[in-house]
Each structure stands twice: as C-alpha cells, then as structure tokens.
C-alpha cells in the first residue's frame, strides 16, 4: 500500500466524520435543491393565479372623449375604474402602488375616429406590478376596440379585409423543446453544479491544510516516511473527490426536484427527463472533473498557506466571487461557446453545459474546452505541489 493511498484513506475517513462536510456535500444538495425548485414553481404559479384573479385598479381619464372605449372597460369585470383623477394624480398613485394602471384619452380622440383618422390612447402602468397583468388587460381591450373600428371601416367601403394585410407572416419555430429548455434552464444549472463543487471542496480543503496546522498534526504527518508529494496528493485527491461528489449529489437533487414538482406541465417534464440522459449527465461530469481538480488545488494552496482555519476561510471567501462571476456571464444574452469563450475557465463549463443540455454542442468548441480545462487542472496541481514543498509556506509565522 503506497503512502499516498494510506494518507488518502486516513484523510477521507476524517473528512467524512466532519458534520459540516456531510451537510454541505449530501444534505443540502439532496434536500435544498428539491425544496427550492418546488418552492419557486409554487410561488410563481401562485403569483400568476393571484394576478389573474385580482381586479386591476385603474384610472380612466377622458371617458367623455371615448364613450365606446370606456364602455368596454366598464363591461370588463377584471377592472375597478376610478374616474375622478387627473393624469398626474393617476401616475403618482401608480408609483405609490395605490393604482395598477391608467388610461388617458385625448379630447381629439372621437373626432379623429369619426373622420377615419388615427387617434392615440396612452396607458400608464408599472411593469413590476402583478406580472404585467394590468398592462396586458388594458392593451387587449384597446386592441379589440381597434379591430372593431377597422373592420367597420372596411365594411363601409365594401372592401376585402385581406386588402389591408398583403403579407401574412406565418411563424415556424424550428427549435425543439429540448433546445429551448436547454438554452433557458441550462443557463442556471451550471451555477448549481459549480456552486456545490466549490463549496463541497472548500470545507475539507480548509480542514486538511489550515485545520491540520491548528491541531498540530501536520508536523507528525511530515515526519512520516511519506514524501511531501505523496502527502499533498493524498490530501488533494480527498478534496477533489468530496467536491465532485457534492456536485454529483446536486445532480441527483435536481432529478428528485424535477420528479417532485407536480406543477410542471407534463410535456415539459417529459423533455426534462429526456435531457437528463446518462450520456448528457456523463458529459457534464466530464466537464466537472478537471474543474474539481482546479478548485481542489486552489483551495489547498490557500489553506496550506494560511496560519489558521479562520484565515483560510477569510481568504477563500473573496475568491468565490471569481468563481461565480464567470458563471453569471453565461446568463447574458449573446454569450455563446466559441473559440474564445471555450478557453476562459469556468465560463467555458457554464456555456458548454448549456449547449450539451440543449443538444447543440459544437465538437470543436467542446474539444477546446476540454484542452483548456485539463491544462488549467495540471498547472494548478503542479503549483499546489510546489507550494506545499516550501518551508515558508508550511511554517509561516
């Protein structure tokens, strides 16, 4: 049995005895992800249903200038209308959330309609209110009124309606439902995987470096027959394994969350299960492995340099921003996996995961992503080993 394997078994056993590691690696991914998914779906559905059920409180300014249009709003039970406000008062009440919207009709409205001209109607709303339900309702009433007037004008002139619609635009979306979901859902999935990969590796990484210093057991380990290379490799493999296990368990938590979310439409649920095939999951794992190596080496290097557990934790917290910022860039529209982005660490994992889930991954860009990730992992591991061999790093005062 090699010293590296002995150290690996010893450190892994000690790590699995740590309650914080178990909670971070197992409990949170398996419990938190399904709960969060269920909560998000339920809240979104409830807000949507509540917005549809509630009346929209609006002001109608200039009702005498458009009696027909005003009558349509009055006949719609989804509106509660106030008629005693000016435009300025209505706008202020909308800003204060006392009103949901307002309709302003100018004095020239009916005159322009009577001479077959175009008249303007202004609607006021706050886009953050009621999931835009009020804006949609007001727009629907006005558009229906507009269609009625246009149809009447066409009939009065004995014209064909198709005369005013020379080109009929027929939309045909060639994107599959998997591709659409992959580009939307796949945007935040890497955030979950990478977040658990980093946090899962962080606590054992701190404990196996700075924690050993605080307990005074590092000197005992250094005096053993094992070389420093064997010692650091044993610790490194444990940190990498725990981080990767945390990411994999988060995938299981995601699967359980999708299965438990009964509010998701069946057709979308079916496609989500089709996405989470063994080949897709295997490719995602292959992207996470070199990233786990990089994280483990980076965390161990910081932990070994720190004089205490607290110092290591304080040093790694700011570094987490440099981990999550590239993932966040993957959310931005227009940021796609190409020759340039495939060479940017962490961002390439985010974009590649999104394309893998969507089924649109380019083999060349995927290959460049693997090359850059494994090169980064190798360089970070070499640095960690060299860093561990320095006396001023291990025994910094």
Asked if 291 and 348 touch (Cβ cutoff 8 Å), the reply is: no
Question: Are 191 and 286 found together in one domain?
Answer: yes
Domain assignment present for residue 236? The answer is yes
Question: Are 245 and 372 found together in one domain?
Answer: yes
Domain assignment present for residue 138? The answer is yes
pLDDT at residue number 368: 92
Question: Are 33 and 128 found together in one domain?
Answer: no
- Give the number of other CB atoms < 10 A from CB of residue 271: 19
Domain assignment present for residue 116? The answer is yes
Question: Are 208 and 136 found together in one domain?
Answer: no
State the sign of the Cα–Cα–Cα–Cα dihedral 50, 37, 31, 27.
negative
Range of the domain at 69: 56-164
Question: Are 233 and 276 found together in one domain?
Answer: yes
pLDDT at residue number 164: 64
What does the pLDDT profile of the chain (397 residues) look like in tens digits? Answer: 587 888 888 778 877 777 777 777 777 777 777 776 667 666 656 666 666 667 888 999 998 999 999 999 999 888 889 988 899 998 888 888 888 889 999 999 888 888 888 888 999 987 655 457 788 889 899 989 888 888 888 888 777 766 666 665 656 555 555 565 566 665 667 777 888 888 888 888 888 888 888 887 777 777 778 888 888 888 888 888 988 888 888 878 777 776 666 666 665 566 566 666 777 778 888 888 888 888 888 888 888 888 888 888 888 877 777 887 887 777 776 778 888 888 888 888 888 887 887 777 888 998 999 999 889 888 888 888 888 888 777 776 6
* CATH number of the structural domain spanning residue 63: 3.40.1710.10
Which residues lie closer than 8 Å to 287 by C-beta, 6 or more apart?
349, 352, 353, 356, 369, 370, 373
Question: Are 153 and 243 found together in one domain?
Answer: no
Instruction: Domain count for the chain, please give it.
Output: 2
Q: HEC string of 119-137? A: CCCEEEECCCCHHHHHHHH
Question: Are 189 and 107 found together in one domain?
Answer: no
Domain assignment present for residue 371? The answer is yes
Could you give the CA distance from residue 176 to residue 24 in angstroms, rounded to a whole number? 36
pLDDT at residue number 307: 81
Question: Are 90 and 23 found together in one domain?
Answer: no
CB-based burial, 281-313: b 16+ in 10 Å, e otherwise = bebbeebbbbbbbbbbbbbbbbbbbbeebebbb
- CA max distance for the chain: 101
Domain assignment present for residue 51? The answer is no
Question: Are 240 and 368 found together in one domain?
Answer: yes
The number of C-alpha atoms within 13 Å of 350 and in the hemisphere containing its C-beta is 24
Question: Are 193 and 316 found together in one domain?
Answer: yes
Our CA angle for 59, 97, 129, nearest 5°, is 90
Name the token pair of 253: 């938590």
Residue 223, phi then psi, degrees to nearest 5: -85, -5
Could you give the CA distance from residue 351 to residue 358 in angstroms, rounded to a whole number? 11
> For the chain, what is the total number of helices (H) and then of strands (E)?
17, 4
pLDDT at residue number 60: 93
Domain boundary among 111, 129, 164: 164
Domain boundary among 130, 164, 198: 164
Pairing relationship of beta strands 56-61 and 79-82 according to DSSP bridges = parallel
Domain boundary among 164, 189, 224: 164
- Model pTM? 0.65
Q: Helix-strand-coil percent breakdown of the chain, rounded to 5? A: 75, 5, 25
pLDDT at residue number 177: 57
Could you give the CA distance from residue 267 to residue 88 in angstroms, rounded to a whole number? 47
């Amino acid at each position: 049995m090699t010293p590296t394997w002995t150290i690996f078994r010893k450190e892994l056993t000690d790590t699995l005895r740590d309650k914080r590691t178990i909670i971070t690696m197992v409990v949170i991914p398996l419990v938190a992800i399904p709960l969060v998914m269920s909560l998000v779906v339920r809240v979104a559905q409830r807000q949507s249903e509540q917005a549809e059920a509630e009346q929209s409180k609006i002001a109608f300014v200039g009702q005498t200038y458009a009696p027909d249009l005003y009558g349509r709003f009055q006949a719609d039970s989804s509106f509660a209308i106030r008629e005693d406000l000016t435009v300025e008062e209505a706008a202020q009440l909308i800003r204060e959330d006392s009103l949901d919207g307002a309709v302003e009709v100018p004095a020239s409205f009916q005159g322009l309609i009577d001479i077959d001209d175009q008249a303007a109607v202004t609607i006021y709303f706050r886009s953050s209110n009621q999931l835009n339900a009020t804006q949609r309702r007001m727009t629907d009433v006005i558009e229906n009124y507009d269609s009625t007037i246009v149809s009447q004008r066409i009939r009065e002139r004995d014209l064909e309606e198709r005369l005013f619609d020379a080109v009929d635009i027929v939309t045909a979306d060639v994107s599959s439902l998997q591709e659409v979901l992959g580009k939307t859902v796949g945007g935040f999935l890497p955030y979950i995987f990478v977040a658990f990969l980093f946090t899962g590796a962080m606590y054992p990484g701190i404990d196996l470096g700075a924690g050993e210093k605080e307990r005074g057991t590092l000197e005992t380990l250094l005096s053993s027959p094992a070389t420093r290379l064997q010692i650091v490799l044993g610790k490194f493999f444990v940190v990498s394994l725990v981080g990767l296990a945390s990411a994999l368990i988060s995938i299981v938590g995601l699967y359980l969350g999708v299965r438990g979310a009964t509010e998701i439409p069946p057709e979308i649920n079916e496609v989500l299960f089709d996405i989470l095939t063994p080949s897709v999951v295997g490719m995602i794992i292959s992207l996470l492995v070199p990233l786990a190596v990089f994280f483990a080496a980076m965390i161990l290097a910081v932990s070994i340099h720190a004089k205490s557990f607290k110092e290591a934790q304080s040093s790694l917290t700011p570094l987490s921003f440099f981990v999550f910022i590239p993932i966040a860039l993957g959310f931005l529209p227009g940021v796609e996996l190409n020759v340039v982005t495939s060479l940017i660490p962490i961002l390439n994992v985010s974009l590649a995961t999104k394309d893998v889930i969507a089924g649109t991954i380019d083999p060349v860009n995927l290959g460049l992503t693997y090359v850059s990730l494994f090169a980064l992992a190798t360089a970070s591991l070499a640095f960690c080993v060299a860093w561990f061999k320095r006396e001023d790093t291990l025994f910094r005062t």
